[in-house]
Amino acid sequence: MDTASDEVDQEADRSRRRFIKGAVTLVGAAGVATLFSGKILEALEVPTSDVRARSGQDRRWVMLIDLDKCDGCGACTVGCTEAHFVPFGQQWIRVYEVQDEFGHRYFLPRPCMQCENAPCLKVCPVGATYQKDDGIVLVDHTRCIGCRYCMAACPYDARSFNWTEPPHTAEELAHAYSPEAPWPHRAGVVEKCMFCAHLSEHGELPACVKSCSKEMGNGAIYFGDLREDVVSNGVETIPFSKTVRDRGGFRLKEELGTAPRVWYLPPSKG
């Protein structure tokens, strides 16, 4: 009985040695492969560091929306939709009609908040959503897998999905796609307002700002650089932080800690 179990032990020992040898070889091979993984990724053309985030400019873009001036005309939505060929059914800047607890009604335009601590960015499994160093949150439609987790995560309903192939125009298709100017549009990916990243980097105001001032003469939307501390609606340029302080400016859902880059000035007129 004893010798039999000894033999079993010895055989078990030999088999264990064989296994450990095999395992060590395998782990070693995996280690070597990891060492060269940079090269392998390069060969597969996967960027190993995020070059997309560099804007080449030292900016912190912000938006200031004066609810006192907004009459809910929707020119911002129309201007945005036309400028970016936004697919039917989507509103990258949407105007909500809100009623406060005293029955007073006012309008609330909602672009993407470009949150500093963006919940959509945190949850993206493939890094299709990323933040440029100027603070703008962009979506790379060539990488998005359409899982829509970012839509579930966004507290401001700022994101839309292309549920089917959007209808195209020749003008839209002629444009070269980039995350800063994300068209032609395509099916199966998530889209949103990108603060007109393609315009701001050339010193131009976003499409919604221009529409609001030009078409209706309201000038309710201001845009600018937090570092310069001034914002402009295309007609006038006003100090930013002082205006926010003096007029009781606020951000939407401040308590969530998302730190939006869009401030609002409260409506005061009745």
Partner 1 sequence: MVDEEPPVDPRLLAPLQKTTWRFYALVGVLLAVIGWGVYAYTWQLRSGLSVTGLTDRVSWGLYISNLVFFIGISYGGTLISGILRLTHAEWRRPITRLAETTTVMSLLVAAVFPMLDLGRPDRALNLLLYRRIESPIVWDFLGIFTYLAGALLYLYLPLIPDLAIVRRWVKAGRMRGLLYRLLGGRWTGSRLQKRSLERSIGIIAVLIIPVAISVHTVLSWIFAMTLRSGWHTAILGPYFVAGAIFSGTAVVIITMAIVRRVYHLEAYITLRHFRNLGALLLVLDLVVIYFTLSEYLTAAYGAESQDLLWLKALVTGRYAPLFWLMLVGGFVFPAVLLVLRRTVAGIVLASVLVSVAMWLERFLIVVPTMMAPQMGSTWNLYTPSWVEWSITAAGVAAFALLCAVFTKLFPIVSIWETREAATPSEELHGVEEEMSA
For residue 72, state whether it binds partner 1 (rule: CB under 8 A). no
Q: How far is the CB of 133 from partner 1 (least distance, A)?
A: 18
Q: Which lies closer to partner 1 via its Cβ, residue 219 or residue 267?
A: 267
Applying CB under 8 A, which part among 66-74, 79-87, 121-129, 218-226 lies near partner 1?
A: 121-129
Q: Where are the alpha helices (DSSP H) in the chain?
A: 2-35, 37-43, 75-84, 119-123, 149-153, 170-174, 197-200, 207-214, 240-246
Q: Looking at this protein, which amino acid is placed at residue 22? A: G
The site that binds partner 1 (CB under 8 A) totals a number of residues, namely: 48
Q: Which residue has the tokens 């060590």?
A: 24
* CA torsion, ordered 43, 137, 175, 81, to nearest 10 deg: 150
Region label for 17, one of left (φ > 0), alpha (ψ between -120 and 50) or beta (otherwise) = alpha
Planar angle of CA 173, 178, 183, nearest 5 degrees: 35
Q: Which stretch binds partner 1 (CB under 8 A): 60-68, 117-125, 202-210, 215-223?
A: 117-125
> 100, 131, 147, 125: which is closest to 197 by C-alpha?
131
| 108 vs 226 by CB, closer to partner 1 | 108
Residue 197 and residue 92: Cα distance in Å, rounded? 14
Nearer to partner 1, 106 or 240 (CB): 106
Q: What span, in angstroms and rounded, lies between the C-alpha atoms of 223 and 52?
A: 23
Stretch that binds partner 1, among 29-37, 54-62, 160-168, 208-216 (CB under 8 A): 160-168
Stretch that binds partner 1, among 5-13, 25-33, 69-77, 231-239 (CB under 8 A): 5-13
Q: How far is the CB of 145 from partner 1 (least distance, A)?
A: 5
Which member of 60, 68, 116, 143 binds partner 1 (CB under 8 A)?
A: 143
Q: Which residues are near partner 1 by CB under 8 A?
A: 4-5, 8, 11-12, 15, 44, 46, 89-90, 96-98, 110, 119, 122-128, 143-149, 151-153, 155-157, 159-165, 187-190, 256, 258
